[in-house]
Structure 1
Amino acid sequence: MKLKIDTNYLKLMLETILKCHSPSGFCYDVMDIIEAEALHCGYKFEKTNKGCGIITIPGENTKEVIGLSAHVDTLGAMVRSITPQGTLKFTLVGGPIAATLDGEYCKIRTREGKIYTGTFLSTSPAAHVYTDSKDKPRLPETMEVRIDEIVESKEDVEKLGICAGDYIFIDPKTVITPSGFVKSRFIDDKGSVACLMTLLRLLKDEKVKPKYTTKMFISVYEEVGHGSSYIPSDITEMIAVDMGCIGEDLNCTELDVSICAKDSGGPYDYYMTTKLVQLAKANKIRHVVDIYPMYVSDVGAALRGGNNIRGALIGPGVHASHGMERTHITALENTIQLLYAYLTIR
């Protein structure tokens, strides 16, 4: 099986959602994009009370309902306090590697919707001034955000409308190279969301029905642990489509779809995982099987939420997770190939 994947659509969707700011708890704009695409393809779209999206794809059989989950929420930051000098102290949303934020551009969004630009910096930012500028730990406690406005005091910042609890959006710096590499923050997990939307477009264009009714669940709180704690009650099994880990003692590369047998929450469903491996082999889809030592997924959240489901986890290989991430279009295509096989061939 070799699908004709619309790579141009995949790249367009990837760039569009990567550049749309959506830290956990603020996914309104990006979910509007997902909803518009689902409706354009002719599929039903619903939202849960907490803002997750559900796209329903009618199948040939309603005996079971297959869930495909990916999360559109990302890492981010939030204003914690304003210093007397007019800079911002921040708290992290999710688990970005704080050291990678030093020198990064950002945007501060007030409750009224005003946007100001700024930069994450160490509190010892100048080599010509501070003796510890090079070796000072980069942590939220030793960093701050410099605002691109003329402010000299806490009161000046407050006059801008900035206050504690305002979101700080990190610049994703998205680039797709001519060689097919995707460089950006937040490929975890917008790369997988782009895969699901491209799969949706493929099913529509090819007029293909999956074997069973399928529900794509786009979660908005995965990075803080409860993205899929609720899922539709008729889902019988769910595949979390999330990033594949790359690094020490792992097989995955930026070209593979990774099939996870076990993460920090324990093993995934044996029979689902076996079926995914068999499909990848039979259809000559470049893949690896790995164990993720420090990882939880939307399947884990769904199981902890008490949902009676079987669960598996796959995703494109992503390098440098929670920092400046990178993958390759090939890994995204392999992920789409495997999902298509699971939905249509079983």
Structure 2
Amino acid sequence: MADVALRAGVSSQTVSRVSNGDAAVVETTRRKVLDAMKELGYRPNSAARALKRGDFRAIGVITMGLTSTGNVRTLDAIAGSAARAGYAVTLIPLDAPTQDNVKGAFTRLDELAVDAVVLIMEVHLLDAAALTLPPHVKVVVVDSDATGRFPVVDTDQRQGAHAAVRHLLDLGHDTVWHLAGPEESFAAGRRAEAWEAALREEGRTVPPVLRGDWTPESGYEAGLRLAGEADRTAVFVANDQMALGVLRAFHDRGVRVPEDVSVVGFDDIPEAASFIPPLTTVHQDFARVGAWCVDAVLRELAGETVTGTRLVPTTLVERSSTAAPGAHGRER
């Protein structure tokens, strides 16, 4: 800074004011300082400036892996919203929600100097890790049941699942089978609960729940079983990847979609419109989830007390994988 000041013929304080974007600096002086910075290859020390200001303009994100559609798209939305607000994002992916892993992630983020942390992780996993989070860290949680402990942003899982089941019942199906996600998943649990509640509201038979692990392979295995069920005409699948496996299993067993069975997914991944047939599914607005996460972070950093859960609405996208029951359904 002293070298820049000497080259520009100004004080070090003026160089500092230019570095910090002070609008009170005369334009001709600003230009001299900027030219001197360029000539000398000077870059302001962002870490030192952050320490002086007391903020780092950075948000940490801890997530359980980057293999699921929801995690990746939520992370992308957070990064975009943070960038528009002038914040960088530091990512720490975990391969398991152990106490050491999560504690290590917070320690590393503290060392990397972030202003707040977004957890794309279900809080019951933190409970299982017996972890106490640092009290000074501002935390926002995505897709969880952490109400009362942290601010939460989530898709309205129940609304989406209820709309999927309601769509199939309105088409004339007597009941709806369900391929759920893993038992430990909060999102899978909410979707399964809403599926069962929608059927009971109408006095319909509740078939046994099938379980998958979010992958097409698990969907295929469940689809083979469903193909052998004589009374199934409609299936609600907890995510689009498993729905893809179900569609393939039906194709391999000669079960026509939607003539013999209707299928609804959840997520509305970009490829869903290109499935054969194009998949009716529940659209999650991941861009809004990300934007609301960053908004909650910024409000907390501004000193506001942020509590409770903000639910992002879902939308049912109707495509060609659902229809009224065909001859198979009428023969039952």
Which of 1 and 2 has greater Rg?
Answer: 2
Q: TM-score, normalised by structure 2?
A: 0.29
Q: Which has the higher contact order (CA 8 A, sep 6+)?
A: 1
Q: Which has the higher helix share?
A: 2
Q: Which has the higher strand share?
A: 1
Q: TM-score, normalised by structure 1?
A: 0.28
